[in-house]
Amino acid sequence: MSDKVRWGILGSANIAKKNMVPAIQEAANAELAAVASESGKAEETAADWGAPLFYQSYSTLLKDPDIDAVYIPLPNALHQKWVIEAIKNGKHVLVEKPAATTADDVIAMGAAAKEYNVKWMEAFMYQFHPQHEYVKELIADGAIGEVKRFRSTFSFPLDLSSDNIRLNKELGGGSLFDVGCYCVHASRMILDSEPSKVFSNGRLLEEDGIDISSTAILTFEGVDAVIDCSFEEAKSNRYSVSGTKGHIEVPFAYRADTNPNGGVGEVILKDVNCEVLEHKTFAADPFLIQVEHFSDCVLNDKDPVYSAESTYNNMKVIEALYQSQK
């Protein structure tokens, strides 16, 4: 292998075009080698993205011996199939969140990765933004006293009459899968523990359809996490941590690039009376950091910081929340 990981991308998802392709192209240890699209626009997509090679099928790209790793931003219900196919072809895999739609699928991915000795990681890119590490430092330093509650919201308005894949149950649609998974992940990451019980209520698009909004309570030891997500509410992607002596607010937690104030992350520390003690900003591209981290793992045979076990645990929580809604 060269000093750069040669990446292939399965599909022409918007997140690949807007965020991952620029990150791969900017990364010091990665390069975009190929793109595969089964929509009949592979050549057009490759030209638009600056990929030197294109394939009309995912399988053909996976058989290319010059591709080291693949990024998979396909619909959620297709993740398990193509992650395992990629692994069987010896490719390292970065797969969009949620990695799968069931915890059993995550187990199957992990087993395949061990059998074929490749790296794989779920692409919760937001976790690589430095604002979250600072939040954890504040908590560890006792800045807000004893933590009592975590709150998180991730929502945006979606045309509910459209054919958007987020509204397709067979493709793994639903607000909890799409944006709520971030809130679940953040609660576990910031609190550095797993919930002992969960409860959720969802508003369905139609009877036996996907959830267009979900609200949930996750019970951790001594701390409750309240999370909500929606396809029918104004844009929001924030979390806050409340303690006995104050609050920490992160107003652009999951997509700091959407912050109209320069696309930066923000961490606001408030005292027990809600007076602002500190307001720090963090400029970073978590997509770039994620690509360079995973590429480094591939090049130097390291384990990704976000483990398969944590991916499994996150999916178990999401499964339990959906079960609670029935």
How do the pLDDT tens digits run along the chain, 326 residues long?
679 999 999 999 999 999 999 999 999 999 999 999 998 899 999 999 999 999 999 999 999 999 999 999 999 999 999 999 999 999 999 999 999 999 999 999 999 999 999 999 999 999 999 999 999 999 999 999 999 999 999 999 999 999 999 999 999 999 999 999 999 999 999 999 999 999 999 999 998 899 999 999 999 999 999 999 999 999 999 999 999 999 999 999 999 999 999 999 999 999 999 999 999 999 999 999 999 999 999 999 999 999 999 999 999 999 999 999 99
Of 83, 42, 38, give the one whose Cα is nearest residue 58.
38
- Indicate the fold that domain 130-283 takes in CATH: Dihydrodipicolinate Reductase; domain 2 (3.30.360)
Residue spans in the chain of domains classed CATH 3.40.50.720: 5-124+287-302
Per annotation, catalytic residue among 97, 114, 136, 302: 97
Of 214, 218, 145, 225, give the one whose Cα is nearest residue 173.
214
The answer to whether 114 is a known catalytic residue is no
Is there a contact between 70 and 298 (Cβ–Cβ < 8 Å)?
no
Euclidean distance between the first and final Cα of the chain, in Å? Answer: 49
For domain 5-124+287-302, which architecture applies? Answer: 3-Layer(aba) Sandwich (3.40)
Of 147, 141, 142, 220, give the one whose Cα is nearest residue 188.
220
pTM reported for the whole predicted model: 0.96
Angle at 163 between CA 161 and CA 164, to 5 degrees: 105
Residues 6+ apart with CB under 8 A from 141: none
CA-to-CA distance for 92 and 5, rounded, in angstroms? 10
Residue spans in the chain of domains classed CATH 3.30.360.10: 130-283
